[in-house]
Structure 1
Amino acid sequence: MVGTGALAGCFGDSGGASETAPGSDGEMIMKTASETTAAYSMSQVISSAVSQNSDVKVDARPSQGTNRNVSEVVQGKTEIAYVQNWTANKIRQGEKPFGDLAYQPNQVFHLYDLAWFLATANDGWTSVTDITADSNVSPTPRGAGTAEMLEYALDFAVDDYNRTSVSYGDQAGAMSEGRLDVGAATYVNLSIEPGWLQQMKSTVDLRVLNWPEEIVSELEDDPAIVVSDIDMSQFDDYGYTPETLSTPTLAYNFIVREDHDYDTLKSFLETLWEQRKGLQEQTGLLAPMANGDSWVKHAYTGIPFHPAAADFYEEKGLWSDEFERGTAQ
C-alpha cells in the first residue's frame, strides 16, 4: 500500500456545500486534471461509459489540480475526483493546506501511476543539477498537487531557480521562445507518453534530465517520495535520455466524500466494472482497468474506502484485510 490527513481550515468550511448527500440525485461531477492531460481524456471515457449504460449521470470536467480537487469534494462542489499519494499523505497527516476537515475523504478506485520527470530544450543539459538560480522552471503548474512533490524533490538537488508556471500544453512553445528552461513531463503507467508530451518532442529537441545517483538515494530514503526506474530504450525521438531514468512517481486514486450516496456510488462502480474491457477501445490508457487488481492497486494507507466501494471489492474478491472500511452514513 502507498503511504498517504485533513484539509486547511478554509477547506473545513462548508463553502457552499449542499446539505444533501453528494450523488443522491444520481448525478456526479468528476474531476481529474486540466483539459490537455491524459487524465482528463480518461475521465471523459469513464463518464461516458457510465452515463450511457446506467441511470447514474457522470459529468467529466477539467480541474485546477489535486489540492483543489480535495477542497471541492469536501465542500460538495465535486462528487468524485482524483488525488495522488503525495496529497493523500498530507491529508492523513493533517499537514497544510489540509487542516481540520468537515468531511473525511474516502477512496474509490485506482486510475493510474504517473512517473514525473523534468525536461529541457537547452543544449548540453543532462541533469537536474544543470538548473541554476537564473533558470525558468515549471515543475507543473502552480496549484497542482504534483508541483509540491516536484518542488520538494528539486530541493534535494538545486539551491535555487526561478519558479514559473506554464500549462502542460504550452511548455513547448515557451521553450521555443526562450521563456522556459525546464518543464515537467510524465509517463502514464511508466510507459505511455501523453499527447502533450509527444507534441513537446515534435516542437523542440527535448532532453530528459536525470537525477544524480546520490540524490536518488536520498529521495528513496524519504517516506514522502516514491521513485521508479524506467528503461528509456522504449522511447524514441528525444534529444537526450539517460539509459535508465530514476524519477519520482505518483499513484492516482479517486476519492469521494464520506457521506456520498451509497446506491449511486455502488451503481457507478458496477457499471464501470461491466464496461471495463471496452474502455481500452476508446483509449489504451485505460487498458489496465480490464484487470480487477488494478482497481485497488496502491491503495492509500490511513484513508478508508467508501462503504459502497468496500462492499463492491468484497463481492469481486478484491478486498484485502489491509484496507480500511469507511463509516456508513
Structure 2
Amino acid sequence: MTVGSSSSGSSTYGNSQAIQRVVSQQSDYLSFITQDAGGDPQSIRLYADGEINSYSAGNYIMNQALTDTGPFEDDSVSEFPQLGFGHLSLNLYWMALEDSDIQTTDDLPGRDVYCLPASWGLRAMTEEMYQGAGLWEGLSENVVNVETSQAASALAEGRAEAFIVYTSNFTQLPSWATEIDSRVDVRPIEMTDEYVQAAEDFAGAGYAEIDEYGGWEQDVESDFTKHTWTETYPYYFSPELSADAVYDLMEVCHNNYESMQEANPTILDWSDPENFTFALVHTDEIPIHPGAADWYEENDVWDDSWTRGDE
C-alpha cells in the first residue's frame, strides 16, 4: 500500500508513519508506505494517475473532487478508490502571539495572519467558509503564505501575528505547531459571533465546542468558549488491493494501536470498533472496500446504508 498522506509534518502524515512502523513489525506480507503528496488534492490526483494505490483525504476535499468544484473545477478526476476507515479528526481554531493586541477575531482584518499552506484542503475549506460569510476579503489582504515548516519562523520573526492551528483527535498538535509551541509564546483569541456563525452555517465542515486546546505545553487556557471548525479524514484503498490485505491492516490497527500511539499519540484508540467508522461520510458515492466491509461486519459495526465495494 503506497499511501498519499499530505505533507511531512501534517497530522495525516504523522498517523501514516506510525501505522507504517507497526505494520512493518507485525505483518510478514503487508507493506504500508507513507508518501508525502503535498496535500489532499495531490493525493487524489496521484491515485487517478495510477501513481499510488491508497490515500488519506479530508471529507471536504473529497466532496470537491466528487462534485468537480474547487481545485477540480477545471481539471476533474474520475477514478476513486474505496472507503477504508477513519483515522483523524481535526479541530481548527485561531491563536495570536502573546504580546499582540489582537484579542478577538474582529481584530484580524488587515493584520498579518497565517491560514495554513495555500495547497492544503484545510486552507481551501477555511477560505470557502469565510468567503460565504463575507469575512475572507478582510483576511486575505495580509495572509502570509508559507509552508508549515516556516510557520514558527514567521511568527518568531513577527512576519505573522495570528494563525490558524488545529488539535488532532482532541489531544495532539501536529509537529509544525509543536515547533511554534517551543519557540513562541502564544494565546488563543476569542471567536466572535460573526465567525462562530460562519462555522456553524458552513456545510463543508463540522462545528464543535471543545473543553481544552489539547496538545500545548505552554498555558493556553481561556475563560471564553472554545469554538472550532472541524474536518475528518478516512483512508481510501484501491479495489485492486485484496480484501485480506485491508482486513489484516485493520486487525493490526485494532490490536496494536497502543504501539502506534507510542510513535504518535494522535493515533486513535482502535480497540473500539466504532472508532474506525466516524469519518465514513461519502458512502452514497463511494463504496466500502470489501476488506473493510468484512471487518465491520465481523465486529458488528456495519451500517446497512453503506454499499459493499466490488473486489
In the other structure, the counterpart of 1:169 is 149
In the other structure, the counterpart of 2:270 is 289
Counterpart residue identity of residue 212, structure 2: M
TM-score, L = length of structure 2: 0.86
Task: Look up the SS of the partner of 1:265 in the other structure.
Answer: helix
CA distance in 1: counterparts of 2:41 and 2:213, whole angstroms? 34
Tell me how far 1:207 sits from its aligned partner. 2.6
Counterpart residue identity of residue 226, structure 1: G
Task: Look up the SS of the partner of 1:30 in the other structure.
Answer: strand
CA distance in 2: counterparts of 1:172 and 1:33, whole angstroms? 19
Identity %: 22
Counterpart residue identity of residue 141, structure 1: P
In the other structure, the counterpart of 1:132 is 109
2:137 counterpart of 1:159: yes
CA distance in 2: counterparts of 1:325 and 1:299, whole angstroms? 13
The answer to whether the Cα contact below 8 Å between 2:4 and 2:34 also exists between their aligned partners in 1 is: yes
Task: Look up the SS of the partner of 2:9 in the other structure.
Answer: coil
Tell me how far 1:108 sits from its aligned partner. 0.6
Q: Indicate the larger mover: 270-279 or 165-174.
A: 270-279
Tell me how far 1:120 sits from its aligned partner. 2.2
2:35 counterpart of 1:61: yes
In the other structure, the counterpart of 1:309 is 292
| Residue 285 to residue 140, structure 1, CA distance change in 2 (3 Å) | same
Tell me how far 1:47 sits from its aligned partner. 1.1
Q: How many residues align?
A: 300
Counterpart residue identity of residue 268, structure 1: L
Q: Which runs of 5+ in 2 are unaligned?
A: none
* Correspondent of 1:204 among 162, 167, 184: 184
Counterpart residue identity of residue 288, structure 1: D
* Correspondent of 1:278 among 238, 242, 259: 259
* Correspondent of 2:25 among 52, 65, 76: 52
| Residue 240 to residue 233, structure 1, CA distance change in 2 (3 Å) | closer
Tell me how far 1:171 sits from its aligned partner. 1.3
Task: Look up the SS of the partner of 2:71 in the other structure.
Answer: coil
* Correspondent of 2:174 among 190, 194, 210: 194
Task: Look up the SS of the partner of 2:83 in the other structure.
Answer: strand
CA distance in 2: counterparts of 1:94 and 1:45, whole angstroms? 32
CA distance in 1: counterparts of 2:304 and 2:180, whole angstroms? 44
**CA offsets 1:36-78 (integer angstroms, 9 cap, x no match):** 2333222112112222222011212323011111111222212
Q: Which runs of 5+ in 1 are unaligned?
A: 1-27
In the other structure, the counterpart of 1:215 is 195
Counterpart residue identity of residue 253, structure 2: L
TM-score, L = length of structure 1: 0.81
Q: What is the CA RMSD across the aligned residues, in angstroms?
A: 2.5
